[in-house]
């Protein structure tokens, strides 16, 4: 059963106003072909050998040599790096609290408020090791992933004391995605089959887990009891961005899947917030969009459009990049976005 959510059509191509104020734009002296990730109000950048922490003005705060073919993840305060079988945990200033060779291949890792997790081994013979920020192992799970592929995991709860995992059961007649939850160091709190539609995002929002696949967004409590009244059909839409506060309802921003091919030509947006399902028609095709402080921002070649979630129109702001905007690379938590023009990178302060 799916309870209908109020839908508001915002015909933004009819209602938009041009602002004359200039946007603050700072050139970031880093190549566009690196790997970038927002790190609170800073940026992490990996150039194939070293991870750099850059300020929102492009200054290097610290760097850490990790070697080739490395991966990295971060919370707002901590960083985890891995390469081969080597694992590194850093604080926000780049100081290492743990470095070690774990003796087996690291597939990927994530870090939360008080724990980090690392998936070790091979795709269908993996185990998940949970450690604190000093690298001390707290828990390990292998039986739950026997003969399955671990797709992703993350920490949730007020202090990140719970863990969700996604695994793919490839031995069934049809592929089946399974969601598990654990209380770190204690017990498995639940398991549910999510079906053959691959879940590509799990969010912890307003004390609930939201699972998002190509068909629907479903809601579960801590013990994986499904809240059917909170289910939202999203067939044909793909998640672009989200804003999840520590308390209260979050905002999930979607765009039509067929408008997200490379290059993106986004003409419509959909914002899901609490019991609202808001549709926007953009004044011009855009290359990306985000949600920040309950405003929707869409970036076109030479314009940023801004709309409040309760308004029927967009304001437009000229975006003066010589080669035009081509991609939103990252969103910082201080109202700035990293934008590529295909040649260089720029930090843009949102209006």
Q: Is 80 exceeded by the pLDDT of residue 125?
A: no
Strand 303-308, strand 295-299: pairing: antiparallel
Q: In this predicted model, which residue has the larger pLDDT, 43 or 9?
A: 43
Buried b (16+ CB within 10 A) or exposed e, 218-227: bbbebebeee
On whether the CB atoms of residues 74 and 82 are closer than 8 A, the answer is no
On whether the CB atoms of residues 189 and 183 are closer than 8 A, the answer is yes
H or E element: which one contains 209? strand 208-212
Q: In this predicted model, which residue has the larger pLDDT, 144 or 114?
A: 114
Domains of the chain: 6-349 (2.130.10.10)
Q: In this predicted model, which residue has the larger pLDDT, 17 or 185?
A: 185
Angle at 243 between CA 91 and CA 188, to 5 degrees: 70
Q: Which residues, including other chains, have CB under 8 Å from residue 245's CB and lie 6 or more apart?
A: none
What secondary structure letter does DSSP report for 223?
Answer: T
Residue of 291, 296, 301, 237 whose CA lies nearest to 263: 301
* SS3 at position 46: strand
- Summarised one tens digit per residue, pLDDT across range 186-202 is 877 788 999 888 899 99
Q: Determine the length of the chain.
A: 351
Q: What is this structure's pTM?
A: 0.90
In Å, how far are 73, 157, 213, 237, 298 from 216, measured between CA atoms?
A: 27, 23, 6, 9, 24
Task: Identify the bridge partners of residue 336 per DSSP, sorted by sequence position.
Answer: 349
Among 20-24, 34-38, 294-298, 322-326, the least confident range: 20-24
Q: Which residues, including other chains, have CB under 8 Å from residue 14's CB and lie 6 or more apart?
A: none
Report how far residue 216's alpha carbon sits from residue 276's, in angstroms, rounded to the nearest whole number: 16
The whole-number average pLDDT for the span 176-180 is: 91
Sign of CA dihedral 186, 190, 193, 199: negative
The whole-number average pLDDT for the span 301-314 is: 90
What secondary structure letter does DSSP report for 21?
Answer: P
Q: How confident is the model at residue 236 (pLDDT cuts 50, 70, 90)?
A: very high
How large a percentage of the chain has pLDDT more than 70? Answer: 93
Q: What is the pLDDT of residue 22?
A: 66
The whole-number average pLDDT for the span 19-46 is: 87
By CB atoms closer than 10 A (0-12, 13-18, 19+), residue 246 is: exposed
Q: Is 50 exceeded by the pLDDT of residue 148?
A: yes
Q: Is 70 exceeded by the pLDDT of residue 273?
A: yes
Q: What is the pLDDT of residue 329?
A: 97
Sign of CA dihedral 240, 246, 250, 251: negative
Query: Which residue carries 């996604």 as its tokens?
Result: 166
* SS3 at position 6: strand
Q: Is 80 exceeded by the pLDDT of residue 173?
A: no
Q: How confident is the model at residue 81 (pLDDT cuts 50, 70, 90)?
A: very high
Angle at 112 between CA 170 and CA 101, to 5 degrees: 75
Q: Which residues, including other chains, have CB under 8 Å from residue 143's CB and lie 6 or more apart?
A: none
Q: Is 80 exceeded by the pLDDT of residue 316?
A: yes
- Summarised one tens digit per residue, pLDDT across range 285-297 is 999 999 999 999 9
Among 98-102, 131-135, 285-289, 310-314, the least confident range: 310-314
- Summarised one tens digit per residue, pLDDT across range 245-267 is 988 899 999 999 999 998 899 99
Q: What is the pLDDT of residue 315?
A: 94
On whether the CB atoms of residues 266 and 301 are closer than 8 A, the answer is no
- The mean predicted confidence, pLDDT, of the chain is 90
Token pair for 166: 């996604």
């Amino acid at each position: 059963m799916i309870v209908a959510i109020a839908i508001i059509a915002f015909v933004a191509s009819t209602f938009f106003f041009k602002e004359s104020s200039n946007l603050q734009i700072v050139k970031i002296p880093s190549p566009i072909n690196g790997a970038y990730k927002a790190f609170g109000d800073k940026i992490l950048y990996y150039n194939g050998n070293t991870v750099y922490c850059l300020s929102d003005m492009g200054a290097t705060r610290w760097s850490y040599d990790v070697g080739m073919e490395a991966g990295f993840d971060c919370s707002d305060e901590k960083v985890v790096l891995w390469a081969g079988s080597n694992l590194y945990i850093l604080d926000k200033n780049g100081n290492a609290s743990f470095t070690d060779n774990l003796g087996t291949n690291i597939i990927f890792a994530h870090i939360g408020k008080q724990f980090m997790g690392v998936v070790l081994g091979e795709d269908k013979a993996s185990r998940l090791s949970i450690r604190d920020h000093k690298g001390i192992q707290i828990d390990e799970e292998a039986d739950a992933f026997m003969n399955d592929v671990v797709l992703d995991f993350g920490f949730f709860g007020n202090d990140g004391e719970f863990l969700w995992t996604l695994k793919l059961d490839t031995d069934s007649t049809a592929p089946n995605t399974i969601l598990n939850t654990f209380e770190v160091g204690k017990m498995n709190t639940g398991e549910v089959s999510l079906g053959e539609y691959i879940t590509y995002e799990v969010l912890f929002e307003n004390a609930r887990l939201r699972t998002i696949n190509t068909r629907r967004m479903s809601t579960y409590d801590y013990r994986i009891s499904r809240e059917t009244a909170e289910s939202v059909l999203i067939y044909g839409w793909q998640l672009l961005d989200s804003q999840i506060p520590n308390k209260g309802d979050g905002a999930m921003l979607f765009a039509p899947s067929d408008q997200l091919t490379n290059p993106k030509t986004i003409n419509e947006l959909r914002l899901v917030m609490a019991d609202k399902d808001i549709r926007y028609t953009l004044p011009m095709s855009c290359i990306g969009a985000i949600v920040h402080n309950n405003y929707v921002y869409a970036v076109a070649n030479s314009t940023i459009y801004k709309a409040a979630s309760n308004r029927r129109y967009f304001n437009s702001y000229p975006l003066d990049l010589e080669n035009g905007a081509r991609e939103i690379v990252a969103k910082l938590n201080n109202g700035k976005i990293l934008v590529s023009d295909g040649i260089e990178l720029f930090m843009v302060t949102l209006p």
